[in-house]
């Protein structure tokens, strides 16, 4: 373990010299987030008594041998991820290596001014979203006996609803500078509607809105403070959304009662700590459980890595086998580590190569002023990183496919001249 840590820091030192970190850097987002998960999990396991642990779904009850094995695999994965990026870096042409050393922190801000007809677009999309909520959920949006309710019978409409809501959130974030009261009011209404479903997509909406409002500002102390406050509130909201799933009754009405009643009684500190636990620690312990309950099956790996729809790969026939319990699935890394060290090393190495490519594309867009493209790519990278710690392998891998589909569409639609990343 000590040797792995030494090698990891040595590689990171080399990468730091060759790739300048900045807020939207895919490579540094990945490394920072996963190393933070390892550190927090280690502190939580060895320094927090079992009686004080949150122990969500009873995953914290693991032996030191099991825990140390998973930490070893996570470190091994980080080492070869970083090594993949580093070695691939030396194979790039000099002009691409030079672009990776640029400091792009000041290139993140933009100032979009939309035309007046966008106000009508926002209003029309908002009305469509309201109608879709009524169509999919009806009165169950406010009170229902099961978590999903009628959403099961309206899966396609539910997906359309989430997609339109994300578009609306992006548009509301962009118009915040021109119409702050209208933007904030409509966003809060979307938050309450989404809260009634209990879906974690609500957290994505909050992060997207907060980020877009920030990068569309001129920066500065006030805007930064507002962004930090927004992120802080999102973390608190995330904790509540997770707790809602275990309630006996669901919908906006019981959820609000829970926040105003039990949520206050449990305390602000508990909910905040629970959120940190779920975001940074739970995935590591769920990975331990995945290694204990999972079985090695190359059929599952092939179905999980395939870009084809699930029904064409027999993936859905495997899904019942990929659960820790009715609420929590196996984890991305748990499925990878199950296949042994050789597969884990190869998978992590190739992931590092992919993230280096994404790093080049994000920087390319920023340098050439295509900041919206860079933001969209970084946002999907962020989703991939989050999904890779708490969800199935297929859930995380599909974001790689989404990212390269988006890159292709940008190239096709906007006729942006993309860099051809070639080896020497």
Note the pLDDT of residue 423: 44
The torsion angle over the Cα atoms of residues 127, 128, 131 and 136, rounded to 10 degrees, is: -140
Residue of 314, 279, 332 whose CA lies nearest to 74? 332
Note the pLDDT of residue 110: 61
Cα 329 to Cα 6: distance, rounded to the nearest angstrom? 33
Residue of 213, 201, 205 whose CA lies nearest to 177? 213
Q: How far is CA 147 from the centre of its chain?
A: 22
State how far the alpha carbon of 12 is from the alpha carbons of 4, 27, 352, in Å.
12, 11, 13
Instruction: Name the pTM for this structure.
Output: 0.74
Please report how many Cα atoms fall inside a 13 Å half-sphere around the Cα of residue 188, on the Cβ side.
8
Give per-residue pLDDT as tens, 162-213.
889 988 998 898 888 888 888 999 999 999 988 888 887 888 899 889 888 8
Is there a contact between 362 and 418 (Cβ–Cβ < 8 Å)? no
Distant-in-sequence, close-in-space partners of 256: CB < 8 Å, separation ≥ 6:
none
Cα 209 to Cα 171: distance, rounded to the nearest angstrom? 9
How many residues comprise the chain?
A: 424
Sign, Cα dihedral of 323, 353, 402, 122: positive
Note the pLDDT of residue 105: 65
DSSP 342-374: HHHHHHHHHHHHHHHHHHHHHHHHHHTT-HHHH
Note the pLDDT of residue 28: 92
Residue 421 tokens read as 């990343």
Ranges of residues in the chain with a pLDDT under 70 are 105-117, 148-155, 218-221, 261-269, 271, 413-424
Note the pLDDT of residue 424: 46
Residue 189 tokens read as 């209404």
For 313, which DSSP code?
Answer: T
Give per-residue pLDDT as tens, 218-272.
655 677 788 778 877 887 787 777 777 777 788 888 888 877 765 544 555 676 7
Note the pLDDT of residue 233: 82
């Amino acid at each position: 373990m000590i040797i792995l840590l030494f090698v990891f820091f040595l590689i990171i030192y080399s990468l730091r010299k060759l790739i300048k970190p900045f807020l939207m850097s895919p490579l540094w987002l990945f490394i920072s987030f996963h190393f933070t998960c390892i550190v927090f999990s280690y502190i939580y396991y060895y320094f927090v008594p079992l009686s004080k642990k949150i122990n969500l779904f009873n995953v914290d009850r693991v032996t030191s041998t099991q825990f140390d094995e998973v930490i070893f695999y996570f470190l091994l994965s980080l080492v070869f991820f970083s090594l993949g990026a580093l070695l691939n870096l030396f194979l790039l042409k000099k002009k691409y290596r030079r672009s990776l050393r640029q400091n792009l922190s000041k290139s993140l801000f933009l100032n979009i001014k939309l035309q007046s007809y966008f106000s009508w677009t926002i209003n029309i999309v908002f009305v469509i979203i309201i109608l879709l909520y009524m169509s999919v959920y009806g009165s169950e949006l406010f009170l229902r006996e099961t978590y999903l309710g009628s959403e099961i019978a309206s899966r396609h409409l539910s997906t359309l609803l989430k997609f339109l809501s994300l578009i609306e959130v992006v548009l509301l974030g962009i118009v915040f500078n021109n119409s702050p009261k209208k933007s904030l009011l409509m966003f809060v209404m979307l938050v309450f509607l989404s809260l009634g479903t209990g879906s974690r997509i609500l957290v994505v909406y909050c992060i997207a809105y907060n980020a877009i409002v920030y990068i569309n500002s001129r920066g500065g102390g006030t805007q930064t403070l507002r962004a930090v406050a927004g992120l802080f509130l999102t973390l608190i909201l995330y904790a509540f959304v997770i707790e809602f799933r275990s309630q006996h009754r669901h919908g906006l009405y019981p959820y609000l009662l829970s926040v105003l009643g039990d949520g206050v009684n449990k305390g602000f500190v508990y909910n905040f700590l629970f959120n940190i636990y779920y975001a940074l620690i739970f995935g590591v312990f769920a990975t331990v459980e995945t290694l204990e309950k999972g079985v090695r099956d190359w059929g599952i790996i092939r179905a999980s890595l395939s870009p084809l729809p699930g029904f064409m790969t027999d993936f859905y026939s495997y899904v019942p086998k990929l659960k820790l319990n009715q609420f929590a699935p196996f984890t991305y890394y748990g499925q990878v580590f199950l296949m042994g060290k050789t597969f884990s090393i190869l998978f992590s190495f190739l992931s590092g190569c992919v993230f280096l490519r994404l790093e080049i594309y994000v920087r390319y867009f920023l340098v050439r002023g295509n900041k919206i493209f860079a933001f969209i790519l970084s946002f999907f990278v962020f989703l991939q990183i989050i999904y890779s710690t708490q969800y199935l392998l297929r859930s995380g891998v599909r974001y790689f496919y989404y990212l390269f589909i988006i890159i292709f569409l940008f190239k096709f639609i906007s006729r942006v001249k993309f860099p051809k990343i070639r080896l020497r």
